[in-house]
Amino acid sequence: MRVRKTSRITMTALILTTLLAVMGAPQAAADTQGASRRTDAGPPGNAPVSLTVMTYNIHWGEGLDGRYDLNRIAQVLKQAHPDLIGLQEVDVCWGPRSQFEDQVVRLASALHMRAFFAPIYRLPAHPHAMGPGQTCPVRGSGVAILTRFPLVATVNHPMARLSTLEPALFPASYPGFADAVIRVGPTMLRVYNTHLDYRRNPWVRRMQVADMLRAMAANSARYSEILLGDLNAEPDAPELRPLWSRFVRPHPDPSLRTFPADSPERRIDFVLVSAGLRVERAWTLPSTASDHRPVVATIRIDAIPQAERAKGGSTETLQGDRTTAIPDPSKTG
C-alpha cells in the first residue's frame, strides 16, 4: 500500500511514453492479435460487447514472501486474459527494489498490450538503470494503463499528495492520475487509474477525490468512463461518497476484499463504471505475488451513444499535461 522510497525528488509532472518497439514487442503484438480472444475491431453498430478489466497494485513486484519477481506478476495478469489493466505501484528503472527494470515495458510486452505510464515520482538518471537492452532516460514510480485496444489520447493529471518520499506536513500537487481514451471498435471509452493516500486519516483522500472529479469534469467530451485503482478506502467511506455521483456505487461483497493478499480484510481496490456500462461479474484472484489481490471484472457495453462513436483518425484533445500514446502495434513494422 505504501510506496517506500527515500531519495529526494524534484516534484514535476513527468509524461513518459513506454515504447514497446525498444524491445521488439510491437511486431510480436501484431503477430498475435489475430489469434486473441478479442480484436480491436469490436462488434459492428450498437451490438453489445464485453471487456475483461483488471486493477492490481503490484507492490513494485514484491510478494508477501519479500521476494522480487515480476514474472509472478505477469503470470497473475495472464490468468484473467484481460483486455484492460490498471496497475499501481509500478516502477520504471526506479532502483534496487525492482532491479532497475522498466516494469511497464516488461509487462506490456509479456501480455502483448499497449501501455501508458503516469509517474507520480521521478528520480535522476542512474548508471544501473542503463544496462544492456534498456533505455531509461528517466526513472519513475506511479501507475500504468495497459490495453489491447488503441490508445487515442492520454494525460497525466496532477492531484494532491502527501509525499511518501520525504517528510511532509501538508499535501502538494504531484502527477499520477492517469487518464486515457481508448477505442473499442466504434466506441470511445475514457479510462482512469489512480492510487489514493494510504493513511488512516481521510483528509488527503478527500482532497484527491475532489481533484480527480475536477480533472474529469474539465474535459468536454462525454464518454462512458471506467475508474481503476487502489482507493485505500472501503466503498462506504465518506471520502469516496462524491465519486458515486459519477460512477455506479459498488454493492457490498465480502468476496471482493483485496488487502492483505493472504487473508483479505478490506475492500480497497476497485473497477468502477459510469452510466452506459455494466459490471456483469467481478472477482478477485487469490495470489500473494503482491500485498494486494487483483480485482477482475467483466464489463458490458450495451449501447453506443452516437456522441461516443469513434471517428476515423480523430484524436481527442485532453486538458492537462500532455503525453503521446504508444504506437498501434498492429501498424508497426
Q: What is the CATH number of the domain that holds 316?
A: 3.60.10.10
**In a domain? residue 87:** yes
Q: Which three cell numbers stand for residue 39?
A: 480484436
> What are the pLDDT tens digits along the chain (333 aa)?
544 443 333 333 333 334 333 333 333 332 222 222 333 444 445 556 899 999 999 999 999 999 999 999 999 999 999 999 999 999 999 999 999 999 999 999 999 999 999 999 998 877 766 555 556 767 999 999 999 999 999 999 999 999 998 888 999 999 999 999 999 998 999 999 999 999 999 999 999 999 999 999 987 778 999 999 999 999 999 999 999 999 999 999 999 999 999 999 999 999 999 989 999 999 999 999 999 999 999 999 976 554 555 554 444 445 444 343 444 444 433
**In a domain? residue 18:** no
Q: What stretches of 196-245 show up as alpha helix (H) in DSSP?
A: 203-217
Confidence (pLDDT) at 29: 31
b or e along 94-120 (b: 16 or more beta carbons within 10 Å of the residue's beta carbon)? Answer: bbeebbbbbbbbbbbbbbbbbbbbbbb
**In a domain? residue 207:** yes
Query: What helix, strand, coil percent values describe the chain, rounded to 5?
Result: 20, 30, 45
Domain interval for residue 172: 47-331
Q: How far apart are CA 61 and CA 91, in angstroms?
A: 9
Q: Which three cell numbers stand for residue 305?
A: 451513444
**In a domain? residue 29:** no
**In a domain? residue 288:** yes
Instruction: Report whether 154 contacts 144 (CB < 8 A).
Output: no
Pairing of strands 172-184, 187-195: antiparallel
**In a domain? residue 7:** no
Q: How far apart are CA 287 and CA 222, in angstroms?
A: 36
Confidence (pLDDT) at 333: 34
Confidence (pLDDT) at 48: 62
Confidence (pLDDT) at 222: 81
**In a domain? residue 42:** no
Confidence (pLDDT) at 291: 98
Beta bridge partners of 181: 153, 190
Which DSSP helix (H) or strand (E) runs through 174? Answer: strand 172-184
**Total structural domains in the chain?**
1
**In a domain? residue 14:** no
Per DSSP, 62 falls in state B
Q: How far apart are CA 283 and CA 293, in angstroms?
A: 10
